Structure formats: C-alpha cells, structure tokens
Structure 1
Amino acid sequence: MVIKKAPCLFGSAIVVGILLAVAGILLLIGIPIDGIVNRQVIAQDYLGFTRDSNGTEIPNQMTASWLKPPYSMKLNIWMFNVTNVDGILKRHEKPNLKEIGPFVFDEIQEKVYHRWAENDTRIFYKNKKLYFFNANLSCSECHLSQKVTIPNIVFQKLVDAADVTIWGVRIKFAIESVLKMVSEAPFITVKISDALFDGYEDPIVDLVCKNKILSFLCETNSLQRRIGFFYGQNGTTDGTYEVDTGVPSPYKIGHLYTWNNMTVMPEGTWDTVYARMVNGTDGQLFSPMLKREQRLTLFVPQICRSVQMEYSRDVSVQGIPSWRYVPPKDLYDPKRPENQGFCNKAGVPRYFENTTVQIENCLPAGLIDLSRCQSGNPRVYLSNPHFYNSPMEVWHAVSGLSVPSPTNDLTFVDLEPTAGVPTQAKRIMQINVGMVKGDLSITENTTNVIVPVLWMNETADFDEGTREQLSAIFNAKHYSFIAGVISLSLGLICWLAVFVVIIIFSRQADEEEYSRLVLDEDEIEPVEPQENVVLA
C-alpha cells in the first residue's frame, strides 16, 4: 500500500519543493517585500498635510521634519594665519600659513516662511540658519577674540583701481597717498569673530571714502563698509525657493523651479545661459528609489550655480545601508567645454604662466571664481580644502598647508536609496583670496598668488527618529532575505529528500528483483544425466 502511495507522496514533495524554492528566490531578490515597502515609501514621500482625529489639518511627518530638521548639525572652521608678512612684502617669500582650529558652531535650521502654490504641488519657502559657538567642542586654544592675519580684500580692490591703463595716474597717486596713512595694507589682522560672522571695518575704507578723488569707489559700492566672510549669514535666509512637493509624482520632490523668482541667474553672473541656469534640487529633498547611475544635481545659492554629485560607493551609517555621492573630479575643470561658462571672458588674473595649470581667462582646475557672485565683486575663490583636486602647483605656491586627501577634503552626502533620505552629509570647502601684485609700490616685491583664508566642514547627521524609520525599511528587506534563504533551503531539502527516497526505493526494488531471480533458479529441478545404452 505504501509503495502504491509513493508516487503521490513524491509528486506532492516535488510540488512543495518547487513552491518553496520559487518563494525563496522571489524573497531573495526582494520582489514581494520591495513592492510593499516601495508603495509605503511613495505613499508618504511628499510635502503636505494629514488630518488628526478631530479633522484638523496638520503637517505630515515628512513636512514636520522638513520645516524643523531634527538632524544634528555642526559647522567646523579652520583659519589660516599668515605668519611672514614682512618676508612676503620685502623678500619675495611665498605666504606661510598656520592652520588654527577647529572653531565649532552648533547649527540650527528652520523654515521661517512657506506658502503652498499650484494646488499644493509646489511650495515657496525660506530657510533660516543660526550658528552658536561651541567652546567645548572647539580646540582648547580656540576663542573668537583670538586674532588672525589674513589677506586684505579691500586692498585688492585698491590694486585694481590703481591700474593706470584704466583709471589713470591721478587715481594711482591718490591710492598711494592713502596707503601711507595706514599701518596695514596687503594683509590685515582681525579677530576671528569679525573675520567670520560679525564683520570688521577696514580703516582704509574710511580714508578712501573721505578722499575726493577716490570717493567714487564707495559711491559705486566697490568697497564694503563692513567685511566678513560670513557676514550677514547668521540668523538670516539665503533666498526664496520654489520646489516641487512630490504631489502627484514623488520622484519630483525637491525639484527646484525658481530661486528668488529666477529660473536663470542675472546676466553677468556667468558667461553663458547654461552656466546661469537654476536647476536640480534644493539639496534638502531627494527623489526616492535612487539609481546608482543617476547623478544628483543641486543648486547652491552661495556660489550662484548648480553642482552635480555622483555615486561613489556603498556605506553603512549607524547600521543603515546608504549610497555615498561625491562631486565628480572634473566638476571645476575649466577644460571641460560645459565649464567654460564659469570662467570670465573679461579676464582673470594670471597666477601661473604654465597654461597646463591655468588656461586663459580661467582659474586653475578645482577653483571657482565667486567675484561676480558676491556684492562688491571681491576677488574670492572657492576650492576644496588644501586645494584637493587642483594642480599641485597651486598647493606649492604657499607653504604650511596639509597634504590634501579625499578622507579629509571631499564633500559627500550619504542617502538611503529607497526613501532618498540623507543619513549623513559633509559639505567641505575652502575660501581663498586672489592677491595680485598690481602697480603699487608696497607690492613691488610680491607675485600673484592664491592665498587660503579658511576651510570649513559643515556636517549633518540624521536623528534617532529618522534612523528608526529607515531601520524599518532595512529590517523588512533583511528579514525578507532571511526568509528567502530559509524557504529556498527547505525547497532544496524537499527535492533532496525525494531524490534520496527514490534512490533507496530503486535500490530496494533492484534487490527484490535480484532475490526473485535467484529464488526462481533454485526452484528448477536439475535433470539427471542418462546412462549410455549399449545396443546389442
């Protein structure tokens, strides 16, 4: 009876094994769980409102976090102190720098204004940033009243104004007269707090503004009354953004339509329309279901342009699998045709005669000219810290800089790819001043050089609440993988069991057949041999 039922049992086991194996394979590649998780993520990935039990509209979870990001944010700043001013001005020495820091600031961001538009498919907002000095996290000798010697931006404006080919000898003579009345000129010593957020008043400005010949420099706003590299950026916003809310398409969330009601930056900001386009995202919201081959485009108002980020590698941030995005190495390479628009057809000072280092009307690779992007057009250049990704000639033009490395000097953002939520971000940049020799007597022993003033590391780490939400996504996929392994293993075990049983039954059948044949042979009576008969 068991033998008769065996084919049915074998068939059932094979079918069960196939079902378990197929289920395991599907779970391993994530088809069932991915579909469920993706639908849940997409359903919640938008800026908008939900209703509470009383029917009152309240911001949904994403909007509440977006309005007041709960992330832990820090701004770390290192200043470069110029230690050999006399040697630079009198003995042709290159600037020697001493790095001081970090000066650590706690950063808080919040949306101080938002207005829905286009049937809630778009939203206008302003983002406010506040910085608070954290003495406990700063270096032991770091205090904001500490003084530092840095290049004088105002002096560089006077160098330009003293160009006799443009302004004439009379202007140059007036500037030389003013410079004899001040103790500092090409470099200035100021407090850290003033160099950063508070701003400082350069005594040269008052003298220039009171001079009848030079007062036009003040009237045309060429000289700023108060100077600071982050002056006016603490407790203020960086413009009005118009972005997509993710309704009806979550894949468009954060898409930037306008900044300060502009789709293109003002003419003169950059040389081409392509370079002046306001495109990409606002850098705070990212599309869900990211793809590795997909580049991210972000608009950065502080540099008046959009930048790109590309996938670098997989990382884990507090146990959350993430994708790391970094700027392409050639992002600021002027030799790329699309980057030519970020040069200046009106001319850029030549800091290096070697055309492989600096091509005509452009800065060396890795630097971007912010002069046309800032009020008063100061000769300020942005780069990676320690001139990472720039020609080594730029690094060698000064002394005292650390050796550049991707570990310390590369901007990145880590995103959980399913939800498109940042898990960690680090924005790193260095601010430099282009110092030009010009035609003034005080600079006759100097050369054109790009001098670093400070470098900064702005970090953001996701909060525990966000980590728990992302953990749920990761755990669902992780447990799905485990279930897939178990299901596939059980399916294979079923097939293996059937295979083993079939082999056993086959061997038993062979043995029974053999025994039967032997038994049959034993039952046959042997034939007695007959005696030979002799015929008479």
Structure 2
Amino acid sequence: MLKKAPCLFGSVIVLGLLLAAVGILLLIGIPIDGIVNRQVIGQDFLGYTRDENGTEVPNKMTESWLKPPYAMQLNIWMFNVTNVDGILKRHEKPNLQEIGPFVFDEVQEKVYHKFMENDTRVLYKNKKLYYFNKNASCATCHMDMKVTIPNIVFQKLVDAADITVFGVRIKFAIESVLKMVSEAPYITVKISEALFDGYEDPIIDIVCKNKILQFLCETNSLQRRVGFFYGQNGTTDGNWEVDTGVPSPFKIGHLYTWNNMTEMPEGTWDTQYARMINGTDGQLFSPMLKREERLTIFVPQICRSVQMEYSKDVSVQGVPSWRYVPPLDLYDPKRPENRAFCNKAGMPRFFDNTSVQIENCLPAGLIDLSRCQSGNPRVYLSNPHFYNSPMEVWHAVSGLSVPSPSNDLTFVDLEPTAGVPTQAKRIMQINVGMVKGSLSITENTTNVIVPVLWMNETAYFDQGTRDQLIGIFNAKHYSFIGGVTSLSLGLISWLAVFVVIIIYSQQTSEEEYSRLVLEEEEQPTESLETAPLE
C-alpha cells in the first residue's frame, strides 16, 4: 500500500489541478459566457424562421416586437390653477392643485412592417392605444372632471398683439374680442378634452370671423382644436426605418430614417447637429452592453435624440439589470452643444437673473417644444416638479411637490447580455410659458412658466421574457457556483495530499526515531552480557 502512495498522491494532485483550472475558468465565465453569448447573438435579430412544416414564420423576437407583451400604463397628474383672479388682479403667482393619477392602460402594436435591403432593415409604424382605467385611477378621478389650465390660444393672441396690419396694431381688435369671452389667460375644460379629445376654444371662432384677425386662422397660427395629446390615441408616431440586426446584432434598432428624414427640418433647431436623427428607436438595444457607453434614443415627440448613461446595477423581479438615466446636463444650455436647442430668434425672459436664464434660452432642465409642434405653441418640457432645474423656477409657482430623483427621473433598466428592457419609466412634465405682453387683461401679471400636467409612462417585462432572462442569469450564476465548488475541491484535494504527506512524514520520522532509540537502548545491554569477568 505504501509503495502505491506516491502514485496515489500524484493522481490526487493532478485531479486537484484540473478541478482548480476548471473552477477558475468557470469563475471568469469563459465557457458559459461564450455559449450564452453565442446563443443570444444568434437569436438577436428581426426576421423569419421556418416551422416544422417548412412554413416561414416570424422568429420569437419578431413576434414580441410586432405586439409587445409588456404591461404598459400611462399615469397622468393634472395641475389645476386655483387662483385665476388673484393672478390677474393681485399679482399673485399661480397656485397649483395636483390631481391624479388618471391611469390609462396602454397597448402597442406594429400596424405595418416591411423588410428591405436583403432583410437588413425594416420599415414600420407603431400604433399606440390608451384606455382609461377608472379602477386604477384616484377615487375621485373621472374624465368629465374639470380643470383650469393655461390657455395656449390666448398666448398666441398675446404674441399677435404687437403685429401691425396696414399700419395699425391689431392689439385693439384683440382687446375687443377678449371682451366677448368669459375666459382668456386661463381656461376651464374637461380632463378628456385637455388630454386626448381636445377642446375648441370659443375665442377661435370669434377671431376667425373678425376681418382684421382672420389671417391668424388662415395662416394656422391658431389651432382649431387644442389638447396636449390630441391626435395621439389610436394613431402611429411616424415611419421608422431601423436595422434588423442582420448581419450584425450589435446594430439592431439602429435608426436610419424617421418619416423618410435623416434630420429634422431646418426650422426645428438652430444647427444641423441638433437636428440629427440618430441613435435607436428606443425599442431595440444592442446585446453585450458596456457600462461606459451611452445609449442614444430618438424621441419624435420632442423632435430630437437624447442620451442615457449607466447609473447603477438593479434587480428587476430577480433579473440583474443596468439602470440608464438621462445625464444631469442633458438640458443645460450652458453646455455649448446644447445652445442649438435654444432659439436664436428670441426667447421670452422669465427670470432676469442670467445665472438662471441665459439669453435666448430657457432655464436648465427645460426644452422648448414650440418649433416642434403644430402651430408653434409656447409649450416647454421638463422633469416633473422642475427636478434638475434652478429652484427659482419651482418657486415661481406654488403648490408643487418638492422634486426628487426617486419620483421625477426617467430611466430604463436593461438586461446587459441580451440588451432587453426589463423596466422603463418615461417621466416628464408639460408646461406653458405665460407671457404678460401688452394686453390690458394681463397688465398685473408677470412672465411665468406654469405646469399643466406631469406623466409617468411605465413598461414592465412579461413573464415569458423574464423566464428567458432568468435562464441567462441562471447559466452564469450556476457557472459561478460550479466554479467555486470546483476550485474548492481542487484546493481541498491539494490540501488533503499535503496533510497526508505531512502526517505520513511525521509518522515515518517518529517510527524511525523510535527504532533508533530502541537500538541505542539495546546496544549497552549486549555489551554487558558479552564482556569478560575480571
């Protein structure tokens, strides 16, 4: 047995070495990552496959893309202006009452798609439908509820008051029209009208019948029907041309054109850089994400691309994900590249302090949508409760909640290996720039940015998508466990061999020592027995 010990020890050492090597490979993820990554890349494209009958059918990714199974909701909070008389007569700042949420279930589907360029690109239209969910809304919320909001049409008259026609300022014609209506700077409408249905302002009919003012209607300066989401329910958001991920999955979702354009019309923003249509469509993302790389997404509602940057690791229903958020300086006009989103033709001054509002720009955190919308209404976009804007903007009105990143920040969570969204929240606030102008009805007011509503559009992945992503996570997780186990067994094998060798060596040493002692003890006795007597 002892003769075989060296061979046994050698075998155990070799086995331990192999186990340790396998453990190290599993821990750094070389075998499993390679297999998982190849599977993800092999399936990460839009296109067709063949079923067992040989019939060409959309692959699983395309099926989910055509009709997303995600649970989607749109939550809207309205701001009701409670002190109109105080604003117009006593120099009060607008006081706002937040009402909501008004909850809408959202359904999306591709109502048209066409593969092109040898299936490397796809042209599609995405349709959105919103259904009011009374049970999920606040107890008192209903679509016939009335709310008082800034009057966009009135602001167009404020701008027109200084126009001269045939040598005469039309201010006097506008003043006469305002005497015929009960509401002007602010208007009370139903929630349904303020959102999707739209409302007809009584001023418009009077203006369009006035010989001096009718040119405002003829030039489409005044919108016949006003609603902040008017025409956006049951309609598409344009024609998208994106990459299918063939042949390169890392280009999936790359946006080539929107509405057949590679950049927005010249009047939209002040530079070609700002007008670029680039990035992705916001629905498809490249696999194998890298934390240091930003995501670029084109948003047609604001006529520009925006960037998202890695924020932190999160877990969404057990799926490890990376959270991406807009950079804090995304809407900061002090950055030179953001100046193009100002308006070199002029911007109303809402704050005299140039550290709050620089010339021809809005304060940080706000973006002017006037040139992006039909009729050029003075509508501004911001984070809810003016989060990430100067506090002077927040203090210009009363009744707003204190802004916080946990409630007021847009984000998207992505599983980094597949690039699949696990959760997304698009959070924004719509505001109207109220300008005093030269009309008598506003002589006691000041220029102010008044919030109208804020919204939280959410999307959560479905169980099927979660199961697929959990499979990816489990493969890597079990690889880690297997690596730890294998490395531990390898180290234990080595340790066992060394312990046995040490013990064996000690036993051998003790036996040898005992033998020598016995020999020494026996040797004098033999001498006495054999020595001759004197």
Alignment of 1:84-123 (within 5 A): 84-123=83-122
Shift, 1:132, TM fit = 0.5
Query: Which one-letter code corresponds to 2:128 in the other structure?
Result: K
Check conservation: 2:199, 2:227, Cα contact below 8 A: yes
What pairs with 1:6-405 in structure 2 (closer than 5 Å)? 6-163=5-162, 169-405=168-404
Query: 1:370, 1:331 → 2: CA distance?
Result: 15
* More displaced stretch, 439-448 vs 507-516: 507-516
Instruction: Name the aligned partner's letter for residue 7 of structure 1.
Output: P
Report how far residue 239 of structure 1 moved. 0.5
**How far does residue 52 in structure 1 lie from its aligned partner after superposition?**
1.1
Give the Å deviation of 1:165.
7.6
Contact 2:387 2:403 in 1 (8 A): yes
Would the aligned equivalents of 1:75 and 1:105 in 2 still touch at CA under 8 Å?
Answer: yes
One-letter code of the match for 2:220?
Answer: N
* Cα drift, residue 170 of structure 1: 2.8
The residue aligned with 2:421 is 422
Question: Shift in Å at residue 519 of structure 1?
Answer: 2.6
CA drift at 1:108: 0.4
Task: Render the CA deviation track for 1:246-282: whole Å, top value 9, x for unaligned.
Answer: 0000000000000011111000100011100000000
Number of the residue aligned with 1:444: 443
SS in 1 for 2:297: strand
The residue aligned with 1:472 is 471
Q: What letter corresponds to residue 215 of structure 1 in structure 2?
A: Q
Bigger Cα displacement from structure 2, 47-56 vs 77-86: 47-56
Counterpart code for 1:233: Q
Contact 2:46/2:59 (8 A) holds in 1: yes
Residue in 1 that maps onto 2:480: 481
Please report how far the alpha carbon of residue 510 of structure 1 lies from its aligned counterpart in structure 2 after TM superposition. 1.0
Q: Partners in 2 of 1:56 and 1:172 — Cα distance? A: 69
Query: Secondary structure at 1:106's aligned position in 2?
Result: strand
Question: 1:461 corresponds to which residue?
Answer: 460
- Alpha carbons of 1:104 and 1:519: their partners in 2 closer, same or farther (altered >3 Å)? same
Q: Residues 362 and 168 of structure 1: is their aligned pair in 2 closer, same or farther, counting only changes over 3 Å?
A: farther
Which letter does structure 1 place at the counterpart of 2:308?
A: M
Q: C-alpha separation between the residues in 2 aligned to 1:518 and 1:205?
A: 120
Query: What does the per-residue CA deviation read over 1:117-152, in whole Å, with 9 as the maximum and x for residues that have no partner?
Result: 100000000000000000000001000000000000
Shift of 1:164: 5.2
Alpha-carbon deviation of 1:522? 2.5
Q: Residues of 2 paired with 1:132 and 1:93: CA distance?
A: 38
Tell me how far apart the structure 1 counterparts of residues 478 and 257 of structure 2 sit (CA, whole Å). Answer: 43
Structure 1: distance between partners of 2:88 and 2:25 = 72
CA distance in 1 between partners of 2:470 and 2:221 (Å): 53
| Per-residue Cα deviation, 1:439-492 (whole angstroms, up to 9, x for no partner) | 000000000000000000000011111111111111111111111121111111
Which amino acid letter does the alignment assign opposite residue 485 of structure 2?
Answer: I
C-alpha distance 399-167 of structure 1, shift in aligned 2 (>3 A): farther
Q: Which segment drifts farther, 7-16 or 215-224? A: 7-16
Q: TM-score w.r.t. structure 1 length?
A: 0.97
1:30 deviates by: 1.4
CA distance in 1, matches of 2:102, 2:436: 32
Which structure 1 segments of 5+ residues have no match? Answer: none
Give 1:167 shift: 9.0
Structure 2 residue ranges without an equivalent (≥5)? none
Q: Which amino acid letter does the alignment assign opposite residue 351 of structure 2?
A: F
Shift of 1:6: 1.6
> Using the alignment, how far apart are the partners of 1:404 and 1:522 within structure 2?
93
Rounded to whole Å, the distance in 1 between the matches of 2:524 and 2:96 is 116
Counterpart Cα distance in 2 of 1:292 and 1:502: 49
The answer to whether the Cα contact below 8 Å between 1:152 and 1:188 also exists between their aligned partners in 2 is: yes
Partner SS for 2:274: helix
Q: Deviations over 1:484-505 (max 9, x none)?
A: 1211111111011011101101
Paired residues of 2:164 and 2:170 also in contact (CA < 8 A):
no
Offset from partner CA, 1:299-344 (integer Å, 9 cap, x none): 0000000000111111111111111111111110000111111010
Give the SS at the match of 1:432: strand
Does the aligned pair in 2 maintain the 1:428–1:455 contact within 8 Å? yes
Native 8 Å contact 1:79 1:453 kept in 2: yes
Q: Is the 8 A contact 2:287 2:419 kept in 1?
A: yes
Q: Cα distance, 1:98 vs. partner?
A: 0.1
- 1:337 and 1:167 mapped to 2: Cα distance? 42
Contact 1:24 1:486 in 2 (8 A): yes
1:212 aligned counterpart, secondary structure? coil
**Partner letter of residue 304 of structure 2?**
R
Task: Find the residue that maps to 1:479 and give its secondary structure.
Answer: helix
Q: Which deviations, in whole Å up to 9, do the C-alpha atoms of 1:351-409 show, x marking residues without a partner?
A: 00000000011000000000000000000000000000000000000000000011110
Answer whether contact 1:161 1:167 (CA < 8 A) is retained: no
> Within 2, Cα distance between the matches of 1:168 and 1:293?
60
Kindly report structure 1 stretches of 4+ aligned residues shifted beyond 6 Å.
165-168
CA deviations on 1:165-206 (whole Å, 9 max, x unpaired) are 899653111111111111100000000000000000001111
Query: Distance between the aligned counterparts of 1:340 and 1:295, measured in 2?
Result: 21
Alignment-mate amino acid for residue 206 of structure 1: D
Structural RMSD (CA): 1.6
Sort the Cα spacing of 1:308 and 1:167 in 2 relative to 1 into closer, same or farther, 3 A: farther
Q: Distance in 2 between matches of 1:415 and 1:167?
A: 60
CA contact (8 A) 1:222 1:377 kept: yes
1:523: Cα distance to partner?
A: 3.5
- 1:239–1:260 CA contact under 8 A, matched in 2: yes
Q: 1:52 to 1:167 in 2, by over 3 A?
A: farther
Do the aligned residues in 2 keep the contact of 1:77 with 1:454 (CA within 8 Å)?
yes
Whichever residue aligns with residue 483 of structure 1, its letter is G
- Higher deviation after alignment, 359-368 or 509-518: 509-518
- Alpha-carbon distance in 2 for matches of 1:166, 1:102: 46
Over 3 Å counting, the alpha-carbon distance change for 1:61 and 1:167 in structure 2 is farther
2 CA distance for matches of 1:403 and 1:4?
Answer: 81
**In 2, Cα distance between equivalents of 1:343 and 1:80:** 26
What CA distance in whole angstroms lies between the structure 2 residues aligned with 1:197 and 1:168? 40
Q: Which amino acid aligns with 1:419?
A: A
**1:24–1:485 contact (8 Å) kept in structure 2:** yes
Q: Is contact 2:50–2:56 with CA below 8 Å preserved after alignment?
A: yes
Residue equivalent to 1:510: 509
Equivalent AA in structure 1 for residue 23 of structure 2: G
Return the letter of the residue paired with 1:307: V
Q: Per-residue deviation at 1:45?
A: 0.3
* Structure 1 Cα separation of the partners of residues 26 and 109 of structure 2: 41
